[in-house]
Amino acid sequence: MRENTTLTALRAGKSTIGGWISLGNTHAAEMLAHAGFDWLCIDLQHGLIDYTDLRNMLPAISTTGTMPFVRVTDNAPAEIMKVLDLGAMGVIVPLVNDRAEAERAVAACRYPPDGGRSFGPIRAALYGGRGYAAESNQQIACIAMIETRAGIDNIEEIAATPGLDALYVGPADLALSLGLPPQGDTDDPLHRSTCEALIEAAHARSLPIGCHAGSTAYALKRLEMGFDFAPLGSDASWLMGGASKAVADVRGALPETRESTGY
């Protein structure tokens, strides 16, 4: 089966960098896949993307060696299984609050006897290649998001869940759970100390842990803090940032007033 190179790197203690996809554009997803990211995550939870978009975007990413991940809308086995059958090499599951919920996510990602995933990898077997049925339990990344007060309080039991491959911090929801404004890219001391405690709990179990970031600057901060993986931004932020800068650069270079040219 195709190797999940991102998962291999994380298991070896190496950092990985990714990108976040929230706009349902197949060509944009393919372009980002050619940019050299280790992984790209298609966001079904908050992104403007539906199943039809996903069905087209996963093959577009697969024109490269970039690993395609999907953040599902909920810890729902039917949805997790469906995106895996489409060829996702990993799922990021939001709002995981305790070990039972983590076990539920893991079970949806694993064929028996390791879990309860139903067999029918209609595209995944084609993309994954020969050996998918036998090897996918070891190659599919199951990643649980920690972003609630319950998730923080239960971090040690969540991190101890057999079969869980990594944790992922949702910093904006984490901020809300701490009584802070929902800002993900933040240097608030309470937010930082909470993240450090989550990193310590994950690494105590030799479990990789990532954190969402809205910019390259904050991705670097998160990685320097001890997180193992982070996105450098999103298609939406890069589009808006690039367009806004282009407009500002040109407006700043033009004189404030110009004499009439007579037409």
- Give the catalytic positions in this structure: 46
**Distances in Å between the alpha carbon of 58 and those of 8, 41, 113, 206?**
20, 10, 28, 30
**Can you tell me the distance from the alpha carbon of 263 to that of 247, in angstroms, rounded to the nearest whole number?**
24
What is the secondary structure of 105-162 as a DSSP string? HHHHHS-TTS--PPS--TTHHHHH-TTHHHHHHHHSEEEEEE-SHHHHHTHHHHHT-T
Do residues 123 and 87 lie in contact, with contact meaning Cβ atoms separated by under 8 Å?
A: yes
Non-local CB neighbours of 257 within 8 Å, separated by 6+ positions:
none
Sign, CA dihedral 50-115-163-75, equals: positive
Do residues 239 and 223 lie in contact, with contact meaning Cβ atoms separated by under 8 Å?
A: no
Residue with tokens 């028996």: 112
93 beta partners: 144
Do residues 175 and 181 lie in contact, with contact meaning Cβ atoms separated by under 8 Å?
A: yes
169 beta partners: 146, 211
**Can you tell me the distance from the alpha carbon of 29 to that of 32, in angstroms, rounded to the nearest whole number?**
5
